[in-house]
Amino acid sequence: MTNSYGDHLETEQKYDAGADFTLPELGSLPGLSGRRPQSKRYYLSATYFDTEDFDLNQNRITLRRRVGGSDEGWHLKLPVRKDTRQELHAPLDDGPDGVVPARLATRVQDITAGRRLRPIAILDTERTVVTLTGKSGEPLVEVADDRVTATQFGRAGEEPMRWREIEVEVVAEGKEEEQASQLLEEVGRVLREAGAARSSSGSKLGRLLQSLLIANPEVPDTLLALAGNVRGD
């Protein structure tokens, strides 16, 4: 359910896809309208925040300020269960000059314990979105084809990391949620048959942290746990 801030439960799955991957036709899946879904393209730029010791990531929490797309603003994602997070929002202008909005900062103050939240990475994404609708036209599942460029702050001179992934998210509410959840699994099956693979990282930030470990084996083992713990885009 969504409130006036745009807060909601987010249920999604992520899939790795190669540069030559072709998104399969999904509009003809059972229970859908049968119409070929139209796509929309967005350009997103997200700055991720954490403490110097990655306290949020250690607790499977992500915090970002994203510009672009239909839900730009501040997003705080808290783990609920497998594939599901509680996503809390705040407007872009609630956090000028990189200051985390109080509404979100207070939700993690027990974890940060007074340590400053600072920018740790910036991710730019070219996103192509397809919305799958039911027979009455109601939106059920959103499929986002993302081409990502990621850079970690404080690592000047390093080449950005680039990859492609597919996000499949339930967007239905109320009585259509059960149908949408079943569709989430069906879309995943079709994507795997087309050559995509379930992502080993729960989030884009997690993938960036994992790449840091591969490129820098001397990085402390604690970062390995961080990379595995991150959930949510």
- How high is the pLDDT of residue 98? 78
Q: What is the CA radius of gyration of the chain?
A: 18
Lowest mean pLDDT among 112-126, 191-205, 215-229: 215-229
Which has more confidence, 177 or 192?
192
Cα–Cα distance list, 205 to 9, 137, 174 (Å): 20, 34, 31
Structure-block tokens of residue 79: 């783990």
- Burial group, residue 119, by CB count within 10 angstroms (0-12, 13-18, 19+): middle
Which of 226, 82, 233 is CA-nearest to residue 150?
Answer: 233
Please name which of 21, 1, 9, 7 lies closest in space to residue 128, comparing C-alpha atoms: 21
Per the CB < 8 A criterion, the answer to whether 8 and 88 are in contact is: no
Tokens describing residue 15 = 């899939």
| pTM of the complete model | 0.85
Q: What is the mean pLDDT of residues 183-208?
A: 90
Phi, psi of 59 (to 5 degrees): -105, 20
Is residue 113 within 8 Å of 56, Cβ to Cβ? Answer: no
Nearest to 141 by CA among 33, 16, 7: 33
Residue 170: φ, ψ to 5°: -70, 125
168-194 core/surface letters (b: 16 or more CB in 10 A; e: else): bbbbbeeebbebbbebbebbbeebeeb
Which of the pair, 196 or 10, is modelled with greater confidence?
196
Question: In which band, very low, low, confident or very high, does the pLDDT at 4 lie, cut at 50, 70 and 90?
Answer: low
Mean pLDDT of the chain: 85
